[in-house]
Structure 1
Amino acid sequence: MKAHKFLAPQILKRQKPNPLSVFPHRHSLFSALFSSTSQPITSDQSQSPSSEITPELLVESARSSQWHFIKHLSPNLDPSLISTVLFNLHKTPALALQFTSHIGFHRLDTKIRCLATAVVSRLPSPKPTLQLLKQTISSDIASVSVIFDELALARERLGISTALLFDLLIRACCEMKRVDEGVECFYMMKAKGLIPKIDTCNAILSTFLKLNRTESAWVFYAEMFKMKIKSSIYTFNIMINVLCKEGKLKKAKEFVEFMENLGVDPNVVTYNTIIHAYCSRGRVDGARLVLNAMRSKGIQPDSYTYGSLISGMCREKRFEEASETFEKMKEMGLVPGAVTYNILIHGYCNEGDLEKAFGYRDEMVEQGISPTVTTYNMLIHALFMESRMGEADDLVTEMREKGLVPDQITYNILINGYCRCGNLKKAFSFHDEMLTKGIQPTRTTYTSLIYVLSKRNRMMEADNLFEKVLKKGVAVDVIIFNALIDGHCANGNMERAFSLLKEMDKLNVAPDDVTYNTLMQGHCREGRVEEARELLDEMKRRGIKPDHVSYNTLISGYSRRGDMKDALRVRDEMLSTGFNPTLLTYNALIQGFCKNQEGDIAEDLLKEMISKGITPDDSTYLSLIEGMGKIDQSVENSNSC
């Protein structure tokens, strides 16, 4: 097949012909056109049915926007023809982009894709080029290193002098979270003697930061330093963020001095990063020192600065201080947004001060700031926590009236809230509404529903729902298993409870102390204390540390059976592991000794618990009274004999 010649500019400027008029054999062409199939276009095709389709025809068709015609021709276009057309459209990259789109970019091989991408890179905006690069990378048609090499060839063919294509390739890798491939391209650029832009380097550093790969960020930053790539303020801010993420707040402050020594002045983002890190770690006083340093440099705090401080204060339950800071922020002329209001609302909701929380919601509205879905979610959750169901329902109605669409979190709050108060019907109605709205229930959703079914002893329904959850592919956790195991143990179905324990192992869900405590309680409830004891030993073998509940369960089991030596042995074991006896421990022991008519030991235990600062409750005294009554009755019976 003859190679297609490149078109001279004067030819392309001629009067636009009718594309069909250039075909002397129309019937044979259309027969080929409509009988063809959409096969991938590859560079190694040796023959083509497009011998009557010329580059001139395709270029003129593109210039006259006859895209429908080009789209129909696309199955018959061979790589050589496409390459020629792309080359001749390289001065009109917008047309080249449309041409590529209509012939089917996904059908092209790596070489043609890279040529098309190189042509499109001449556009003022990098977005189309980035999109084409992402499509090529995600298709896995070739490795990123091969794509790099093909882009290099296309770049040479088109006479492109800048390294923009390679910078964009690295950015595409970073945006796709394939940062290691981006770094590979970085070193390929270095091998060609090309220096990536600082923005490209920042993209790599930023991606490492987002992926929590802080060590990799430092290794790459060192390479930048070695290559004498001059850092920008954005570079320094990223590295300060890396230090903050590593918890090295002192070093982060020292890094500010380092950048100043290099002639780069910190900005508000620099200080906000450090202030946020201090506040998120509960070190508001440290954040205040950074704020003072910031002001001393003439940098004024912004809304984000105060938002971080207010959030930190709320986290430390310094609510009065948070409110004062909020007022000071407004006095400085900074306009708080919904995010800042939500921080305060969240803090007061967690504190249980709903009056203050709703007060800030009302202030938002007065200031013309619309409450968000997050605002409503926090308030609805707080109302449910106080069992104010009617008000929560009213808030949901208000939310809908304002045109806000409940999200996944909203539904989970509603379902959990109604499950807590035992309203199964309402909880499941919201579950059904989620599905109707196209919102997929989460593990949290199903945990709430299974928990309430188990508490209502509706174990068949709980098991059925659990099976549906597994079929949906929802990742189950120890909490959902514990809810089921608790329900089956409470109903005496220990066989099913232990089958769930085995299923946890199959699904690689590690049981915890709650799992074993529940199973131990189930055994003790049925008088099988030895089996419960074996479970305690199994816990230890699996590296699960027994707690108060574990030991008290065994002590109660032995005491109910009257095996006080074993009960005391467990009490001693409890002490040896660093746990002090609790009210439940003493009540179980006192009850056991009273049952065995050993009132003197029971009274000694009562004195011991009081000396340890543990206040007896009604159960303690009831056991003693019943025990003494049995002793008196026993003595009376003995005397009558």
Structure 2
Amino acid sequence: MALNAAKSGGRVLVARRGGGNLFGRAAASGFSTSASTAATTPQRISHYLAHHPRATWEALSAAFPAAAPPHGHTDAVLLSLAKHRHSSSSPEIVARNALTFFYWSASSSSSSHSLRAYCLLAHLLSRAALIRDASVLLQSAIAKHSSSPASPFLDAFFAAYEDSGTAATTRGLHLLVHAYARARLPKEALEACRYLAQRGVVPSLSAFNAVLHAAQRCGQFGVAWEVFELMTLKRVYANQSTVELVIGVLSREGALARMASLVERIHGKKCAPGVVAHVALTLRIFKEGRTEQGILLLRRMLQRNMVFDNISYSLIVHAHCQAGDLRQGRMKEGSEYMDKMLHEGFVPDIGTCSEMIEALCDSGEVGKANELLTAVMDKGVVPDQNTYLRLINGYGKVGDAQGVIKIYHEMEHRELNLGVDVFSSLIRVLCQSGNLKEAEKFLAVLERKLLAPTSEMYDLLISSNCEKGNTKKALWFYDRMMTENDNLSVEESNHREQTVSFG
């Protein structure tokens, strides 16, 4: 009995042990399931990645056997890693583990990663100075998620930067500009530059140069000039590589020789490529009518000795003349620039002088225009026929016949080759001011020079005499014109007869 009892007790004990083992297996199974579920939470995964020395695919599969994390967990894991700096691990180890996790979770899921996941990981990699990995990831993200315009992508990338908090660095933002440039998307790269600059993050010089290079290679020269303007406006000043890229754009546009010649003519001698590049940028801005923007950039260039004083003053005067500001209350400012140039010994080119003279004449200040011409001539500037014609028109507008005649004699004295166009201007302005006798004298001078009067000259004399009521004189000019123009058509002849009869 005792033996049986012992055996029975033994069997009970064995049964209890067996029962205990079964409970243990059940408990272990329950714990495994619970632990697996707990282990796949974003907090547990990010903690694992932050403290594991090397998270391989095998290690991740062993640690998290429940296959891929649920949808959205990847974003949460990467955000947790991006927001915190882990003192126990280096940023490089954390970033590499995050990159491994990123690809591991993608291989275990049927859906691709979100744009936010790409952005968060790119910031993690760039913070750890894993530039190559970050660049490859960004190019992949651009290929999969980019759009035109690039603003949705930029919004997501900047949001990921801001969500990283105090752990964030701007390195990733600069890398994004590089990534667009490498993908040969210069427009999107420029958009990224502007987007970042508006948010207080000015792209680096190397980023700007990368966009310039991409724009040049793609033949998008307009984009290249916009990049060059933006970097100058944001005080990211050009280095040798920048200048070479801009000169390359000028060359491919076929404008390099003309621009270099213009700068040399203003300065009096050849200038460095950097000066040519910045002058070309300024003139492009002025041509678009953005006078104030161009002057602002010129002043910054002067502060950095990127252009010479005489070139800067010449361009400013040119801008005011071109924009017509000197007919809109800006005459004083333009005159002050010109006076300052002359006082400091800087001599503007004849083109700039002619524009300033025309602006002064248009505002009725012909005397000031004549004084300016005298001043620049004293500095060695030689006026051309175009300069004198502008003065002739100016004197004609104020009705100063003697001033017109004086300019003509000065042109004769300088032995300029006076053609029909000069006499046409003389006759026109004198007729318009009512000085018909002087206009007739110039018609006679024209004929003495063996030049043929034009129909326009006769028309002016005929119509002006008609307005004065001198019909007899008008008919006399009409008869002369008909005699000298045998090929005049019947229709034109009839028209002129009506003009004389009813004028």
Name the TM-score, length of structure 1 as normaliser. Answer: 0.39
Rg: which structure is higher? 2
